[in-house]
Structure 1
Amino acid sequence: MARSIRKRVHYPHPPERVWEALTSRESLAAWLMPNDFAPRVGHRFNFRTDPAPGFDGVVHCEVLELETPRRMVWSWRGGQIDTRVTFTLAPVAGGTELLFEQTGFEGVPAILTSFILQGGFGKMFDERLPAVLDRLARGDDVATACERERAGLGALVETITARVAARFRKERER
């Protein structure tokens, strides 16, 4: 049994700006997590966040495919999951359509984690990424804004961590 996460979002920004928000280390940190990303096939990088039960707080990734400014694929490994993340951009009237897919959630712990991640990704793609895109459009310094927003991300991570821990406890009791 495997599960995937899919999220399709429209942004009123050109594909090049959305691509910048997906491939700039500073922009990624502002809407996702602190990282050492570089947009280069074969580049191994990490996202860092607070640890949780069964998760040391580090997501190990590698850029597998890069088709500027249309498509990017990463491996995504951390805790109980070993998945693949794909971002696909398409120009549409009035902006860009982003399709996010994370595939390969297999086994009960990974599937439970996928539901938690799906909730967090909703906030990130519906609120945090649009805020980064708006700052890029204004020419604001995303890195400075990122520092201010990390406190807000910490609260989100704490919520996700608590939910994951509760689901793992419930699963173990069965």
Structure 2
Amino acid sequence: MPEINHKTYIKVPLEEVYKTISTSQGWNAWFTDDTFLKINLDGTGEIRLRWTNFGSENVNIEDGGRILEVDPNKRFVFQWSPGEQSSTVTFTLEPYKDGTLVVLNETGFTDSEEDLKACIGCAVGWGEALTLLKIYLEYGIVYKQDL
């Protein structure tokens, strides 16, 4: 089964990275247009990721699913369905040098043609997304695509 693995170093404290990946306001600041997160007291919940007029074709995209795990300043895990079935996205945060090592892992893709296409798209997309997260947190730069 294919899986996605990325790492990036962000020179800000764990708490700041975690707040950005675990709140609606955080996601909307660096990546999405209208994301909604609801986290329950037991560390589960729901995530809805939304992009409006995205890309050169100006498509509206909405996806999301269950939040499976919330471990403050350590892990944020959710499911969504970019392919044929749900996949699981795990952000793991580790202290590193003067900041945070962000490890992203996505699993659950099958070897079907639709899932392989989704996996390749997500692998590229998460690499770009982590770069956007880094420049947002380190420099306060927000990039919103207006094509």
Query: Do both proteins adopt the same fold according to a TM-score greater than 0.5, normalized to the shorter chain?
Result: yes
Residue in structure 1 matching 2:124, options 106, 109, 119? 119
Unaligned runs of 5+ in 1: 137-144, 156-174
Q: TM-score, normalised by structure 2?
A: 0.81
Q: For 1:32 and 1:83, how far apart are their aligned partners in 2?
A: 19
The percent of aligned pairs where both chains have the same amino acid is 20
Query: Structure with the greater relative contact order (CA < 8 A, sep ≥ 6): 1 or 2?
Result: 2
Question: Does residue 36 of the first structure (1) align with residue 36 of the second (2)?
Answer: yes
Which residue does the alignment assign to 1:164?
Answer: none
Query: Hey, what does 1:23 align to over in structure 2?
Result: 22
Q: 1:75-109: CA deviations, max 9, x gaps?
A: 11245341001010011112111100110111221
Distance 1:60 1:32, change over 3 A: same
Aligned length: 139
Query: In terms of mean alpha carbon deviation, does 31-40 or 16-25 score higher?
Result: 31-40
Q: TM-score, normalised by structure 1?
A: 0.70
User: Secondary structure, in 3 states, of the residue corresponding to 1:38?
Assistant: strand
Query: Unaligned regions of 5+ residues in structure 2, if any?
Result: none
Higher-Rg structure is 1
Kindly report the root-mean-square deviation, in angstroms, between the aligned alpha carbons of the 2 structures.
2.5
Partners in 2 of 1:86 and 1:131 — Cα distance?
A: 20
Query: Is the 2:39–2:46 Cα contact (8 Å) retained in structure 1?
Result: no
Equivalence for 1:14? 13
State the Cα distance separating 1:48 from its structure 2 match: 1.6
